[in-house]
């Protein structure tokens, strides 16, 4: 049984739906992350933090703090541009800048990557080649389902070797492991676990989705952002009502839901540990 907790460490103003309104860049990642670190410590849980390079560069102490608690530090790119806004060389540059910022902060090189806004799809799958060339062990950018913002319909839902030419069919062997987001089939619906859905759905439904996902694929992953568990996240005014709901709904209860998840599930391994175990089993088995 493998349950993974992944946290995309960025500022509230990096979120896709907020970014388009040119918000005031009022930093609060440190304040928003501190309660999460306390909670993880209390519950003896481990998480993988996908850190945005801009945040690591501006607040290296925060990254040191996270690292000192034994959590994995992975890359979330540098500026939170979606892969659709990049090409192989500007993407490689984003990776490099983030690697430098993380190395400066904690002296490690990230082994995993998650694209801004799960922007991996067939048109941006070239990114997998860039990650392989730069020696990454795994990618966690694939969202196997379709939503208005992102997703690849019929993409493979278990851990698998990434296949650049066809995201819906895993490779038999490879270097880069794909750790897709959990999307569980439930009452005929496709439910992801994390982010807006975790805030929006009643807790029991998210719990069921996580259990179902693990049962269906042998692996389940939750994702969230510190800003969406922090009641004092600045409000971007003048948003349209749908964007405002998706961004802010249930922020006050985000931390409480994380607390419940930590009570009900054991999050004890990082994504590097889990994807390496997968690779070893594939090679030996």
Query: In which region does residue 202 sit, left (phi positive, over 0), alpha (psi from -120 to 50) or beta (all else)?
Result: beta
| Rounded CA separation 78/56 (Å) | 9
**Piece of the chain touching Zn ion by CB under 5 A; list 5-13, 67-75, 103-111, 150-158:** 5-13
| Site membership for Zn ion, residue 99 (CB under 5 A) | no
| Rounded CA separation 95/77 (Å) | 6
Query: Least distance to Zn ion from the beta carbon of 48, Å?
Result: 14
Annotate 103-127 with DSSP letters as a single string: HHHHS----EE--GGG--SGGGTHH
Query: Least distance to Zn ion from the beta carbon of 15, Å?
Result: 7
| Angle, alpha carbons 15-210-147 (nearest 5°) | 40
- CA end-to-end distance (rounded Å), the chain: 18
CB 108 within 8 A of CB 73: yes
Q: Which of 4, 6, 8, 145 binds Zn ion (CB under 5 A)?
A: 8
Interface with Zn ion (CB under 5 A), residue total: 3
- Which positions from 107 through 146 interact with Zn ion, judged by CB under 5 A? 116
Query: Least distance to Zn ion from the beta carbon of 200, Å?
Result: 18
| Rounded CA separation 174/132 (Å) | 9
* Complex with Zn ion: residue 81 or 111, whichever CB lies closer: 81
**Piece of the chain touching Zn ion by CB under 5 A; list 2-10, 67-75, 83-91, 195-203:** 2-10
Each residue 53-92 as x (binds Zn ion by CB under 5 A) or -, in order, gives ----------------------------------------
| Rounded CA separation 62/106 (Å) | 10
Query: Least distance to Zn ion from the beta carbon of 3, Å?
Result: 21
In degrees and rounded to multiples of 5, residue 275 shows phi and psi of: -70, -30
Query: Least distance to Zn ion from the beta carbon of 159, Å?
Result: 21
Which residue has tokens 């003048």?
Answer: 238
Query: Least distance to Zn ion from the beta carbon of 33, Å?
Result: 14
| Site membership for Zn ion, residue 211 (CB under 5 A) | no
Interface with Zn ion by CB under 5 A: which residues?
A: 8, 10, 116
């Amino acid at each position: 049984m493998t349950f993974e907790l992944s946290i995309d460490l960025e500022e509230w103003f990096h979120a896709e739906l907020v970014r388009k309104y040119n918000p005031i860049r009022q930093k609060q990642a440190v304040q928003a992350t501190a309660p999460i670190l306390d909670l993880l410590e209390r519950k003896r849980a481990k998480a993988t933090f996908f850190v945005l390079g801009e945040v690591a560069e501006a607040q290296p102490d925060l990254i040191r703090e996270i690292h000192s608690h034994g959590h994995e530090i992975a890359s979330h790119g540098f500026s939170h541009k979606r892969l659709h806004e990049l090409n192989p060389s500007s993407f490689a540059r984003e990776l490099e800048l983030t690697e430098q910022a993380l190395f400066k902060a904690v002296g490690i090189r990230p082994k995993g990557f998650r694209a801004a806004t799960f922007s991996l799809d067939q048109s941006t799958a070239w990114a997998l080649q860039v990650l392989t060339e730069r020696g990454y062990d795994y990618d966690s950018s694939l969202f196997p389902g379709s939503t208005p913002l992102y997703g690849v319909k019929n993409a493979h839902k278990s851990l698998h070797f990434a296949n650049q030419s066809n995201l819906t069919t895993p490779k038999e062997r490879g270097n880069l492991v794909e750790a897709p987001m959990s999307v569980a089939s439930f009452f005929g619906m496709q439910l992801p676990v994390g982010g807006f859905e975790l805030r929006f759905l009643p807790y029991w439904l998210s719990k069921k989705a996580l259990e179902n996902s693990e049962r269906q694929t042998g692996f389940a992953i939750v994702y969230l952002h510190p800003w969406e568990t922090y009641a004092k996240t600045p409000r971007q005014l003048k948003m349209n009502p749908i964007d405002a709901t998706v961004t802010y709904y249930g922020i006050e209860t985000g931390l409480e839901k994380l607390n419940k998840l930590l009570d009900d599930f054991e999050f004890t391994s990082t994504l590097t540990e889990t994807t390496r175990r997968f690779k070893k089993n594939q090679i030996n088995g």
